[in-house]
A and B are shown apart, each in its own frame.
Chain A
């Protein structure tokens, strides 16, 4: 009995499985909302098989992993809802909030049967991620760099990053080269993968090629797709956003989905919804430039026309004035002469009469003055004559004085004379000649 009691009583695997199954029949495992990351997603016969994972937030180490399935009866609806709300497909790497029940099947093991997915959670998750990338770019001071680049007046040399065969690329090129204004564009395609994990490195490589020859281009246009479905997750990438933010040429982003944005929309210089819109925007810039040329041409024409019209008006005026000018000038000249004559006559009478009166008065006074002056001169002359007569040598001689000369010269000093010299003494009525016997000096 002892041995029997100690001998294990095995159950069949199926029995064990039933026990597990029974143990899992707990309401706490029914319709549970779980947050997890999707992995190894594949669709087979309409059923979607996948794995749910939880990773360590900083190390990335797997903390939990569970098989999951979305049965074909609900998968198309869940998938379509998710895509239309979030703009992306269910794919590996996406964080989701799913509702399901833990199920254990004796033959297939345990799996989480998903009955619903909340796309709003994924949207919020993507939004949180975008905000984080933008915040990082802001802190690094590069967020606004590309947005603040000035556009050339007419950007017409365009580097395009796109998948070569994409419908969007074709739309863009067709729109650009069939623009009604005949605007000239130069385009060069830099091919890149535009979806999935390789998107970011592939687009960055294309940007690097453009940067190597950036003098050849005015701007970069990043476009993709044409289909309604789009997987924008790959574009919410820090490396790619940082590259675009710091790219030296203005970048136009046309990868969008109608409603959704990616971080690239915030860092690129220009965001448009579709490749066609990107082309239209570039065409509009060219057409603005053409319109500006037309406007300036019209203004210059107007200006020249106005100037010529003004000159013509002036000429016409001069012409008509000129016809009458000689007669008018003669008229003016003759009346000027007449006026001059009249005023001359008036002024001569006014000016000459007093002059004449003054002249007559002057003549009279000159005569008087002359007479007076002559009289005075005669008087003075007579007075002088009397004086002269009184002072003359003859008068002196008559008063008894004599003049002695020797050899014809008047003797005024004894030193002029010597004994035996002959001297002549002049009297008033005759002369005496004597010979000197002696001379004597006064002391």
Chain B
């Protein structure tokens, strides 16, 4: 039987703290005994996306950094 996919909030609509809370919730769920193996992929993929989004918000790309530094040196 195909498990119904959980409804995830789009990443752009999440605050950083909400994203981290969701990561915690996913981890707790996966550590629980009743974690559905069918959903493992779904949750792992979601967690990966959340982490990538959080990291993206925390860090700037090299290009951005160069632009900022160039700006500051004007």
Contacts and interface: CB of A to CB of B under 8 A. Distances in A.
A and B pair up: yes
B59 A182 contact: yes
B17 to A, nearest CB: 6
A198 to B, nearest CB: 26
Interface in A299-329: 299-301, 303-304, 307-308, 311
What is the interface of chain B mostly: helix, strand, loop, or mixed?
A: helix
B59 A290 contact: yes
Given A182-B62, A184-B64, A177 B55 contact: no
B57 interface: yes
A154 interface: yes
B24 A311 contact: no
Given A300-B44, A307-B30, A311-B37, A156 B24 contact: no
Most buried by A among B47, B57, B69: B47
Interface in B1-47: 16-17, 20, 23-24, 26-27, 30-31, 35, 37, 40, 43-44, 47
B30 A293 contact: no
A181 B60 CA distance: 9
Interface residues of B, number: 30
A290 B31 contact: no
Given A184-B57, A299-B27, A307-B30, A292 B37 contact: no
A5 B27 CA distance: 114
Given A184-B57, A293-B51, A296-B51, A304 B40 contact: yes
A308 B40 CA distance: 9
A154 B15 CA distance: 12
A109 to B, nearest CB: 56
Contact of B47 (A153, A177, A289, A300): A300
Interface in A271-305: 286, 289-290, 292-293, 296-297, 299-301, 303-304
Contacts of B20: 153, 292-293, 296
Contacts of B23: 293, 296, 300
B27 A303 contact: yes
A94 to B, nearest CB: 37
Interface of B: 16-17, 20, 23-24, 26-27, 30-31, 35, 37, 40, 43-44, 47-48, 51, 54-55, 57-62, 64-65, 68-69, 72
Interface of A: 152-154, 156, 173, 177-178, 181-184, 286, 289-290, 292-293, 296-297, 299-301, 303-304, 307-308, 311
Given A173-B72, A300-B43, 14 more contacts: A182-B59, A182-B61, A182-B62, A184-B57, A290-B58, A293-B55, A296-B20, A296-B47, A297-B51, A299-B27, A300-B47, A307-B30, A307-B35, A308-B37
